[in-house]
Amino acid sequence: MAMAKRDTYTPESLLAVAVEVFNERGYDGTSMEHLSQAAGISKSSIYHHVKGKEELLRRAISRALDGLFGILREPDALEGAAIDRLQYVVRRTAEVLMAELPYVTLLLRVRGNTDTERWAMERRREFDHEVAELLKTAAADGDLRPDVDVRLATRLLFGMINSIVEWYRPGRGGAATSDEVADAVVRTAFAGLRV
């Protein structure tokens, strides 16, 4: 009697495989067949865990968003001068991006063809908006240089942080650690490069 192939996937480990495939092929370019091949289990086994690829996308995006929005509820993001809270949030955003690299990479790449993608983009804008509010408060406190345009500075800050997904690979020999990268982001953005 043939044994049925054992499905040893948990929702968590299946998600990790799916995110890898989404990031490699793009969400649009990924079929259930691709996911089945990458996971080495049948499509019906995948359907045992999830309704379809959009549910996997939603779970993966949620993981990235939970990490990011969680930062805003941490004590150092809530107490103290806005400029210090801003600096804390910027550092933590870089850290969460690196800790949840494939999930945040996926979040940054979605382009809005499905409800889940549009929801992801909307939530991402909300996060950016929260950070922009901190910049505004810091500016009102007189702690930002007066020539800083809040909207442009927010965009450039996220441009700098989000670009980390393009080159950061944890554990690569000789590469910068997450701490070193987060330090560099905070120093560059807040103190500037010039002595």
Which residues are at the interface with its own copies (CB under 8 A)? 83, 87, 135, 138, 142-145, 147-149, 151-153, 155-164, 166-167, 176, 180-181, 183-185, 187-195
8 A C-beta contact, residue 104 and residue 166: no
User: Is 36 or 178 the residue whose CB approaches its own copies more closely?
Assistant: 178
CA distances from 160 to 51, 166, 187 (A): 36, 11, 12
Whole-angstrom Cα distance, residue 74 to residue 88?
Answer: 10
b/e per residue, 90-111, with b = 16+ CB within 10 A? bbbbbbbbbebbbbbbbbbebe
Tokens of 14: 């299946």
Q: How far is the CB of 118 from its own copies (least distance, A)?
A: 17
User: Is 104 or 185 the residue whose CB approaches its own copies more closely?
Assistant: 185
Q: How far is the CB of 70 from its own copies (least distance, A)?
A: 24
User: Is 78 or 191 the residue whose CB approaches its own copies more closely?
Assistant: 191
Q: How far is the CB of 108 from its own copies (least distance, A)?
A: 10
Q: How far is the CB of 3 from its own copies (least distance, A)?
A: 42
